Amino acid sequence: MKQLNEKVAVVTGAGQGIGKGIALCLAKRGVKVVCTGRREAPIQQTVAEIEELGGQGLAMTCDSADRARVEEVVKAAVDTFGSIDVIVNNGQAIVPSAPVEDTTYENMLAAWESGTIGSLNYMQAAFPYMKEQGEGRIINFASATGMFGIAGQLAYGSNKEALRGLTKIAAKEWGQYGICVNVVLPGAESPAAKAWAEKFPEEYKKQVMLNPMHRFGDPEGDIAPVVAFLAGPDSCYYSGQSVIVDGANSIMP
């Protein structure tokens, strides 16, 4: 079984926030990281920071809904670094909030294509390589928005719950090949959270104080190390699980 520092990972949405934190965290642990995103400049910056750390990275623009491009990314990972061991499906389009009756087809499609369908594209593209080598790690990203049914978030939340279903079914089917599939539900100081804080500072402070730790998680310091565990050899019997990393914020009173 490969050690973490022998692995190659693809991290989607690696140009900012949680995705960037994960890419840097994995690189510090010796993982070779393919950073993807829809905009080239941010992922190039992430790779530059990886190289400054002495790590190895590759930047490739990709819309995860584009299956042909996803196949190219996975093949490039294998051609460049020799294997594909870890897929981190972090990327997700954020769509406008709306009540159920006003949610548009276009917003539903945008959320699902970038989330559930995009994640499935990467999973299916990596599967033949992982099956052949007899091990692999897939880490998807969901949200408490879907788990607890946050009003106004139908497109985003329903997509995130579908990702949890996808994770459990893939874990059942692919466990025989040594492939572990898990899903992380983070509570982090993401770019979206920071933008929300700037727009609604009082509500932001209220939500921070409701967290038992009185803070939101740091992408690299709090969320990414959990992903590193799920990507490594110590998680070889841990699969099909929803891992909530939010400082106990989601525990109901």
Q: What is the dihedral of CA 126, 132, 135, 136, to 10 degrees?
A: 0
Nearest CA to 182 out of 163, 167, 201 is that of 167
156 in catalytic set = yes
CA nearest neighbour of 231 among 164, 177, 182: 182
Instruction: Look at the alpha carbons of 70, 73, 75, 78 in this order and tell me if their dihedral is positive or negative.
Output: negative
CA-to-CA dists, residue 17 to 114, 137, 203, 223, angstroms: 17, 21, 21, 10
Q: List the catalytic residue out of 156, 177, 237, 238.
A: 156
Q: Would you please indicate which residues are annotated as catalytic (active-site) residues? A: 156
